[in-house]
């Protein structure tokens, strides 16, 4: 993304809580109008980063700029950001209208103007006619929408969302993911979205920052993050990944042959700019859905291995299979869409199968 | 005993019910004795306040309003009551305010020495009243302050702040801290946030603290005894009147009135508290 149009600039920012480095020397930009996700396991520092942006915490070191302005020492109420809290933080003593209009109480608007804005917001979150409801009469989904409206009515430059969908059930969550994405495009405000759910991040984001132990591992589009992770940790965190230790045998015109132990010689077509040297110890990674399952030996001369079906899980639209290979303890995960009935594979415990994959499905990572 | 109690009631032939019945029988007796121990002594007050005899003793002679009439005419008693109400009113507001500030600091800020500070504020709770009374008397003399209702009030604030703080800490811990953060985040400054979010949400606790600290001040004897000047509070007045048997029945009449008002206040406070918890607990969904 063009750094010239960055709305948020984080420059070598650290936040320490006593001896704990919640955020450890982090630098990156977020572009104007972007849907940007902070993804990581719980305790990785993603919420701390969000709270640094909101102003609830001050960085121990480094700076944060929002729309060109340094945020050091700027209180939360003076920042051009608004937040949707994980708990939604709907004021229990105020009705829906007063909750949504809370941030504009001192804006000097006439009653009519304020009512107009609140009605607009109720329309936007598809809850018209809910204005007079008391806070305790709302469902989780409604609270989430009202928290959103309450933040958006301030027209912030950046909207911060702290796992806003975590408390909703699966179906509602998936609905809200699409709705939130559409809403973001609609209002054109930069969203910074914290989540631990990689699927959610992939569905919604323009770009994702994968965070672990207070450090940013990779910032990329969902596709790049999934298809070309830059390290083992990212590859393992986003989706499922089969890893094999290997040694580079030869390297010709960006085509590598890697001796991957039980897999035999794996041929790859690395698209990364960084090419491994011959003889280097590396990790070969293959996604489960990029492995084909064959009932008999396919005709290809390489990237084929024989195994035995050790377990299978039927998930409706797709199935997950675990195939045991000689010389390797962990079975290889394979995912297949159930285009045709999947039964033939399900029945055959210990049935011999052949795995095959294309050269461009293989990812090479540093060990 | 319990089997006889069961026999009087419609019998249900379920083995588990019989076992439960036995257990409840004993617990019931225990509960009745306990409640009697708590509430029968205070009931002597209304009983003897209507008794047509100077002597507070059985048998009951007859019914009279005479002691209430005497009470209404006794200026010393009414003055003392007025003094107590005055001191109590100021003390409950001051100690609730200080308690609120302390509770806010204890629950919302991280600061060095927070633990020791909390214990320090709590100290008056564990220091014997008589020690505190003597200490304050010595201090008042040293400073050259004249003993008055003011000195009583100051000493009452000292012992009431810990109670106010405890009540309000539990209240402030009872609601989500992010509510206050949300208010700040929406552009409202810390001071307005305190009034628009913290105070309304803590209101049941504030009312409870006001009532509790008022009752503590109203009831307090030892400190008032040491620190009273010419004007006395009600407990001191009542104690001084115990020497005159003729005055005792009108004290009982006053006691009855105070008991009634207290019971009404407690009921109101409980009602407010329940309403408060009903409206601040978010419904899951």
Give this prediction's pTM: 0.78
Q: Which of B175, B182, B204 to mutate to test the interface with A (most CBs of A within 10 A)?
A: B182
Binary contact (A91, B179; C-beta < 8 A): yes
What per-residue string of b and e applies to A67-96 under the rule 16 or more CB within 10 Å gives b? eeeebeeeebbebbbbbbbbbbbbbbbbeb
pLDDT at A50 over 90: yes
DSSP per residue, B4-45: HHHHTSPP---HHHHHHHHHHHHHHHHHHHHHHHHHHHHHHH
Question: pLDDT grade, residue B268 (50/70/90)?
Answer: confident
* Mean of pLDDT values over A291-316: 85
| Distance, CA of B284 to chain centre | 34
Residues of A with CB under 8 A from a CB of B: 54, 56, 75-78, 81-83, 85-87, 89-93, 102-103, 105-106, 134-140, 143, 150-151, 154
Give residue B122's pLDDT: 84
In B, minimum Cα distance to A143 occurs at B285
Least CB–CB distance from A85: residue in B182, B189, B192: B182
User: Position of tokens 């009540």?
Assistant: B167
pLDDT at residue A346 in the model: 55
pLDDT at B283: 42
Average pLDDT over residues B27-56: 84
Question: Does position B108 have pLDDT exceeding 50, yes or no?
Answer: yes
Residues of B in contact with A78 (CB under 8 A): 187
Higher pLDDT, B127 or A276: B127
Does residue B12 surpass a pLDDT of 70? no
- Residue B213 banded pLDDT, cuts 50, 70, 90: very high
Search chain A and give the residue with CA nearest B192.
Answer: A106
For residue A309, list its beta bridge partners. A323
φ/ψ of residue B210, rounded to 5? -60, -45
Under a CB-based contact definition with an 8 Å cutoff, are residues A218 and A210 in contact?
yes
The pLDDT score that the predictor gives to residue A341 is 64
- What is the per-residue pLDDT for B8? 45
Contact between chains at B178 and A76 (C-beta distance less than 8 A): no
Q: Given an 8 Å threshold on Cβ–Cβ distance, is A106 in contact with B281?
A: no
- pLDDT band at residue B285 using 50, 70 and 90 as cut-offs: very low
pLDDT at A351 over 70: yes
- Residue A299 pLDDT grade (very low, low, confident, very high; cuts 50, 70, 90): confident
Confidence of residue A274 (pLDDT cuts 50, 70, 90): low
Lowest mean pLDDT among A11-15, B29-33, B40-44: B40-44
> Which residues of chain B neighbour A156 with C-beta distances below 8 Å?
none
Question: What mean pLDDT, rounded, does chain A reach?
Answer: 87
Query: A9: which strand partners?
Result: A29, A65
Cα distances (Å, whole numbers) of residue A193 to A27, A86, B157, B183: 17, 11, 49, 20
Average pLDDT value for residue range B186-198: 92
pLDDT at position A206 over 70? yes
Instruction: Give me the pLDDT at residue A40, please.
Output: 92
ipTM reported for the complex, 2 dp: 0.82
Residue B262 is predicted with a pLDDT of 82
Measured between alpha carbons, how far is A193 from A35 in angstroms, rounded to an integer?
7
Average confidence (pLDDT) over B204-220 = 90
Cβ pairs bridging A and B (under 8 Å): 82
Least confident stretch, A207-211, A284-288, A337-341: A337-341
Q: What is the pLDDT of residue A2?
A: 43
Residue A189 CA to residue A177 CA, distance in Å, equals 16
CA dist B22 and B9 (Å) reads 13
Instruction: Quote the pLDDT of residue A64.
Output: 94
What residues 153-192 of chain B have any CB closer than 8 A to a CB of chain A?
Answer: 175-176, 178-179, 181-190, 192
Confidence (pLDDT) at A100:
94
Contact B285 A151 (CB under 8 A): no
Whole-number average pLDDT of chain B: 82
What is the structure's pLDDT at B273?
Answer: 67
**CA distance to partner chain A, nearest, from residue B169 (Å):** 19
């Amino acid at each position: 993304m063009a750094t010239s149009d960055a709305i948020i600039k984080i420059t070598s920012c650290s936040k320490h809580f006593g001896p704990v480095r919640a955020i450890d020397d982090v630098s990156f930009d977020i572009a104007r109008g972007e849907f940007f996700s902070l993804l990581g396991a719980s305790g990785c520092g993603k919420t701390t980063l969000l709270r640094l942006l909101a102003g609830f915490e001050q960085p121990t070191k480094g700076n944060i700029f929002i729309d060109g302005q340094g945020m050091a020492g700027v209180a939360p109420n003076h920042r051009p950001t608004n937040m949707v809290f994980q708990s939604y933080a709907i004021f229990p003593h105020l009705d829906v209208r007063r909750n949504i209009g809370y941030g504009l109480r001192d804006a000097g608007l006439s009653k009519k103007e304020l009512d107009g804005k609140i009605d607009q917001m109720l329309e936007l979150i598809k809850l018209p006619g809910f204005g007079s409801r008391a806070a305790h009469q709302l469902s989780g989904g409604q609270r989430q929408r009202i928290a959103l409206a309450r933040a958006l009515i301030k027209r912030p430059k950046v909207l911060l969302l702290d796992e806003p969908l975590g408390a909703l059930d699966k179906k509602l969550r998936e609905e809200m993911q699409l709705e939130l994405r559409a809403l973001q495009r609609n209002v054109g405000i930069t969203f910074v979205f914290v989540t631990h759910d990689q699927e959610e991040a992939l569905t919604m984001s323009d770009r994702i920052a994968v965070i672990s132990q207070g450090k940013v591992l990779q910032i990329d589009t969902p596709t790049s993050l999934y298809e070309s992770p830059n390290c083992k940790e990212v590859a393992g965190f986003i989706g499922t990944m089969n890893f094999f230790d290997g040694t580079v045998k030869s390297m010709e015109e960006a085509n590598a042959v890697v001796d991957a132990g039980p897999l035999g010689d794996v041929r790859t077509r690395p698209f990364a700019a960084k090419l491994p040297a011959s003889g280097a110890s590396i990790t070969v990674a293959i996604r489960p859905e990029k492995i084909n399952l064959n009932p008999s030996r396919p005709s290809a001369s390489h990237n084929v291995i024989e195994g035995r079906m050790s377990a299978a899980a039927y998930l409706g639209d797709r199935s997950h299979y675990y195939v045991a290979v000689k010389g390797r303890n962990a079975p290889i995960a394979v995912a297949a869409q159930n285009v045709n009935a999947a039964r033939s594979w399900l029945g055959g415990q210990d049935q011999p199968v052949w795995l095959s994959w294309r050269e461009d499905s293989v990812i090479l990572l540093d060990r | 005993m319990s089997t006889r109690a069961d026999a009087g009631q419609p019998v249900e032939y379920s083995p588990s019910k019989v076992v439960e019945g036995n257990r409840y029988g004993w617990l019931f007796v225990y509960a009745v004795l306990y409640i009697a121990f708590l509430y029968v002594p205070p009931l002597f007050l209304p009983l003897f306040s209507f008794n047509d005899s100077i002597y507070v003793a059985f048998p009951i002679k007859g019914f009279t309003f005479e002691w209430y009439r005497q009470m209404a005419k006794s200026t010393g008693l009414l003055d003392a009551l007025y003094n107590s109400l005055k001191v109590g009113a100021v003390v409950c507001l001051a100690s609730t305010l200080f308690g609120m500030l302390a509770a806010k600091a204890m629950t919302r800020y991280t600061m060095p020495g927070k633990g020791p500070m909390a214990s320090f504020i709590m100290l008056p709770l564990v220091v014997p009243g008589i020690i505190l009374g003597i200490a304050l008397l010595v201090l008042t003399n040293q400073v050259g302050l004249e003993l008055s209702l003011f000195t009583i009030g100051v000493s009452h604030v000292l012992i009431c702040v810990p109670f106010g703080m405890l009540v309000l800490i539990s209240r402030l811990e009872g609601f989500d801290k992010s509510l206050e953060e949300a208010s700040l985040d929406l552009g409202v400054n810390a001071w307005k946030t305190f009034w628009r979010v913290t105070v309304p949400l803590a209101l049941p606790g504030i009312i409870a603290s006001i009532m509790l600290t008022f009752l503590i001040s109203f009831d307090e004897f030892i400190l008032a005894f040491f620190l009273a000047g010419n004007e006395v509070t009600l407990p001191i007045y009542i104690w001084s009147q115990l020497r005159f048997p003729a005055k005792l029945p009108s004290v009982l009449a006053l006691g009855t009135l105070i008991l009634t008002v207290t019971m009404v206040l407690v009921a109101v406070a409980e009602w407010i508290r329940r309403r408060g918890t009903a409206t601040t607990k978010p419904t899951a969904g």
